[in-house]
Structure 1
Amino acid sequence: MEPATLRAITNNQNWCQRVAEIHQVETKLEASYWCSKDPMPTFFPNLVTLNTSATQALLEEVIPVQDSYFVKDCFAALSLDSLGFTKLFDANWYIKKALPPLRQRDGVQISEATSAEGLAEWETRWRGEENYTPIYPSSVLDSETIRFFTAESNGQVAGITSFNDTHTLGIYNLWGDPALFSALIGHLQTLYPNQDIVGYGDEQEVQRLESLGFEILTPLTVWGRFA
């Protein structure tokens, strides 16, 4: 496994673990996979493979036979159709080295959600709906490792979540006008000047970030089974 890919996967596993802790979901970490013992919040996997030792035969022993369940196959190596799963999407890991930093764009206002009201507004704008069970309760603001940012300029708006696991800075929930993505990434680089930025995204997100100097890494696949 490439070191850059391993760093991206590790950040993602730590991110899932942190969100599980916020929601008081019990988890288990094995040599080849991480999993939750209870349902995770919307959009989060129940199981994340950590290396290619997480074979389909092994997962058949781990995955419950009933109920909704979601698997992040970090190596796009599995075929879970026989277990009743549907491939939800393909994606790629990516990384941006700390240097060189992106140039800041003039005229962009960047704000951070630091209150319960601000966080609720951020999640509503990200999700594009009014009625939902929050993924990010106000208690998430007690964690210095997780931050929520919004960029605005001339009616354009975009947002991002960052997660610092001390080794890398993970970016998640990138949404809004792509013209503002560089401003968000550049802002994060000013806050964490020595941190490489990692994450994953679908083909569209990957193409947009590649134009900003991100290196596109290996593929992954997300599978889902619905009750």
Structure 2
Amino acid sequence: MTSTSQELLVRAAARNNAEWCAAMSRSHGVEGEFSAGAWATARRTPLYYPDAVTLVPGVDAGAVVGRIDGAPGASVKDSFADLDLSGAGFGVLFGARWIHRAAGVPGRASGLGWEVVRDADALRAWAVAWGDDAGLFRAELLREPETFVLAGLSDDGRVVAGAVAGRSERVVGVSNVFACEGEVEPGAAWAVVLEAVGRLFPTLPVVGYEHGDALAAALGQGFEEVGALRVWVR
């Protein structure tokens, strides 16, 4: 893959991820705004979600910081790992890698069933399995037309794995991938998520970002690394 192809994929992944952050924020009543350089919101976003996501390389750091609530706890997803926000009082929370998997690549069988979460009760069961003790996943999220909460199911119908998939024009993004400890391994979680995504969006490549053991699990399922990102926090 050429460097140009990689940058285009990262741009598509960053836009997709910003759209997911915007959807999660809307479900909490927080509206953001897209510009040529970044998605950002002047109100604090839900826990774990950034106040801004850069969409292209070379964005002016001051312009991004100027669009968010800069109080302690503010965060920026630096999608191209090319910002320096240290002068504005930010430090790097973590670094990660954008990942990509081509459409139509066969995967291994997961041994699990799957479904798209459609109602509030099913979303609550999914959120408990994910470990949501902060009320992140609200029923309002189910109104987002391009957001799909995916549940991996055991033989007796319990949620034991899952993820969120977000469809955009060129890619489908996968985030919040989880496996219930003692029930399934991370590889099986990725396998069932890819089964679902392949059935729902057969022509779209899959993107996301991971680090550490989660990155290793994704690479084991046929993903490749296509770029670096960082999350800054004040």
TM-score, scaled to structure 1 = 0.87
For residue 202 of structure 2, what is the aligned residue in structure 1? 193
For residue 107 of structure 2, what is the aligned residue in structure 1? 102
SS of the counterpart of 2:123?
helix
For residue 8 of structure 1, what is the aligned residue in structure 2? 13
CA contact (8 A) 1:92 1:200 kept: yes
Q: Does 1:113 align with 2:117?
A: yes
Pick closer, same or farther for the CA change 1:34–1:210 going to 2, 3 Å.
same
Q: Does 1:178 align with 2:186?
A: yes
Q: Distance in 2 between matches of 1:128 and 1:62?
A: 29
Unpaired runs of 5+ residues, structure 2, are 180-184
Q: Distance in 1 between matches of 2:150 and 2:195?
A: 12
Kindly provide the amino acid, as one letter, of the partner of residue 98 in structure 1. Answer: A
Q: Distance in 2 between matches of 1:117 and 1:156?
A: 12
TM-score, scaled to structure 2 = 0.84
For residue 49 of structure 2, what is the aligned residue in structure 1? 44
SS of the counterpart of 2:105?
coil
Q: How much has 1:103 moved relative to structure 2?
A: 3.7
For residue 171 of structure 2, what is the aligned residue in structure 1? 168
For residue 122 of structure 1, what is the aligned residue in structure 2? 126
CA contact (8 A) 1:92 1:203 kept: no
Q: Does 1:91 align with 2:96?
A: yes
Unpaired runs of 5+ residues, structure 1, are none
For residue 77 of structure 2, what is the aligned residue in structure 1? 72
Q: Distance in 1 between matches of 2:143 and 2:35?
A: 28
SS of the counterpart of 2:107?
coil
For residue 225 of structure 2, what is the aligned residue in structure 1? 216
SS of the counterpart of 1:150?
strand
- Count of equivalent residues: 221
* Cα offsets for 1:63-117 (capped at 9, x unmatched): 5443431100011112323322232111011111112232433x32223322211
Provide the aligned C-alpha RMSD in A: 2.2
Q: Distance in 1 between matches of 2:51 and 2:165?
A: 21
* Cα offsets for 1:5-47 (capped at 9, x unmatched): 1111111122222223333323222221211121111111101
Pick closer, same or farther for the CA change 1:118–1:70 going to 2, 3 Å.
same
CA contact (8 A) 1:104 1:187 kept: no
Kindly provide the amino acid, as one letter, of the partner of residue 169 in structure 1. Answer: V
Q: Distance in 2 between matches of 1:60 and 1:110?
A: 40
SS of the counterpart of 2:48?
coil
Q: How much has 1:194 moved relative to structure 2?
A: 0.8
Q: Does 1:204 align with 2:213?
A: yes
CA contact (8 A) 2:102 2:204 kept: yes
CA contact (8 A) 2:164 2:177 kept: yes
SS of the counterpart of 1:25?
coil
